[in-house]
Amino acid sequence: MTTHVRHLRGLTIATAVMLTVSLALVFFYAPLDAEQGFIQKIFYIHVPLAIVSLAGFTLGGVFGVAYLRTGRREWDMRSYCAIHMALIFAVGGLLAGSIWAKASWGHWWVWSEPTLVSYLIVILLFCTYQPLRFSIEDPERQARYGAVFAIVCGAFVPINFIVVRLSTQFLHPRVLNLEGGNLPGSMKLAFYSSLLAIALLFTTLMKYEMAAKQTRIETRRLRRRLLGDDALRPLGRSAAPQ
């Protein structure tokens, strides 16, 4: 498996700069919300986290398609890392959303809120990705089933949102609706810059994870060549590609 992780340094610097710029925009440039005041600032973290994590789940599905088409293990690695990272971002988004809900609606959890509920369902679904991989021993089958799961669940993400939305009324503010949103210009700038920053953060962290896994595999291969098979501890079962 040769996943060349390129541009890692440039990406890291770009992410750091973008995060700083977007946080500065959020806190010093965007105006305070007239109704919610300072707590509304969490919106600039929560919404990008949620959007990026959902995009990450779908991306995992796309990589899964690529794996099934080509049969090359690096796509499995990409799919795994995308879903892994998206899950972490999703939990972060859920927590941030919960804090915001407590502050603005008065409850930690609101069942009548379709976006919240469908988001939770998606997270629960993707929480089973790692147990599924972990319970398959043959690495090749693990990769194939992981890809199938990623495709089905990646396609499930938008469908689930539609169904849950049908079942309840709207309460969640629509940030990105078809009319182009209802944000004033300065807020919009801060929002899009933090969306970009979080997306960059996702890409960077995913690349770091891939680089780390890659290095571990490579080290293991070199040690085997250098010291012989006996010098290595046998591989334990793992959910990650190895």
Partner 1 sequence: MAILRKDLLLERRTLETVPAMAMLAVVTFIIFHFGLNQNQVSGQLAAGVLTITLLFAAMLGINRLFVAEREQGGFDAFLLAPVDRTAMLVAKAAALFLYLLVLEVVALPAFALFLAPPHLGSSLPGVLLILVLSDVAFAVIGTFVSAIAVHTRARDLIGPVIGLPLLLPALIATARGIGPLLTQHATGSPPAKWLAVLALYDLFNALLAYAVFDFLLEE
Site for partner 1, rule CB under 8 A: 68, 121-122, 124-125, 128, 131-132, 135-137, 141, 144-145, 147-149, 151-153, 155-156, 159-160, 163-164, 166-167
> Least distance to partner 1 from the beta carbon of 125, Å?
4
C-alpha angle 206-63-151 in degrees, rounded to nearest 5:
120
Q: Which amino acid is at 158?
A: P
Partnered with residue 33 across adjacent β-strands are 37
> Least distance to partner 1 from the beta carbon of 138, Å?
9
Partnered with residue 37 across adjacent β-strands are 33
Nearest residue to 19 (alpha-carbon basis) of 44, 37, 41, 40? 44
> Least distance to partner 1 from the beta carbon of 124, Å?
5
Residue with smaller CB distance to partner 1, 122 or 197: 122
Q: Would you list the DSSP string of 41-99?
A: GGHHHHHHHHHHHHHHHHHHHHHHHHHHHH--HHHHHHHHHHHHHHHHHHHHHHHHHHH
Residue with smaller CB distance to partner 1, 42 or 121: 121
Residue with smaller CB distance to partner 1, 19 or 164: 164
User: How far is residue 132's CA from residue 150's CA, in Å, rounded to a whole number?
Assistant: 11
Residue with smaller CB distance to partner 1, 152 or 232: 152
Q: Which amino acid is at 79?
A: S
Residue with smaller CB distance to partner 1, 36 or 168: 168
> Least distance to partner 1 from the beta carbon of 72, Å?
15
Say if residues 132 and 149 touch (Cβ distance below 8 Å): yes
> Least distance to partner 1 from the beta carbon of 81, Å?
20
Tally the residues of the chain: 242
Residue with smaller CB distance to partner 1, 138 or 229: 138
**Alpha-carbon radius of gyration of the chain:** 20
> Least distance to partner 1 from the beta carbon of 137, Å?
7
Residue with smaller CB distance to partner 1, 1 or 68: 68
CA atoms within 13 A of residue 79's CA, in its CB half-sphere: 34
Q: Would you list the DSSP string of 20-42?
A: HHHHHIIIIISPPBTTTBGGGGG
> Least distance to partner 1 from the beta carbon of 60, Å?
14
